[in-house]
Amino acid sequence: QESASAGSSGYTFAAASTAAVVAAASSARSSASSRGAKVVRNFFGGGSTSSYASFDPATELGVQDPIGFWDPLGFSADKDEATFKRRRAVEIKHGRISMYATMGYIVPEYFKFPGYLSPSLGLKFEDVPNGLAALSKVPVLGGAQIIAFAGLIETTGFFQ
- Please report the pLDDT score of residue 51 as a whole number: 56
Residue pLDDT, tens place only, 103-143: 988 998 999 999 998 899 899 999 999 988 888 888 899 89
For 35-92, the DSSP string reads HT------TTS-SSS-SSPPP-GGGSTT-BTTTBS--TT-TTTT--HHHHHHHHHHHH
Please indicate whether residue 51 or residue 74 has the higher confidence score (pLDDT).
74
99-105, Cβ contacts within 8 angstroms, sequence gap of 24 or more = 105/130, 105/131
Beta bridge partners of 2: none
- The kind and range of the H/E element at 124 are strand 123-124
Please indicate whether residue 106 or residue 12 has the higher confidence score (pLDDT).
106
- Please report the pLDDT score of residue 75 as a whole number: 86
Contacts with 131 (C-beta within 8 Å, 6 or more apart), sequence order: 105
* Residues listed for the chain: 160
Residue pLDDT, tens place only, 14-47: 555 565 555 555 555 554 445 556 666 656 655 5
What is the reported pTM? 0.52
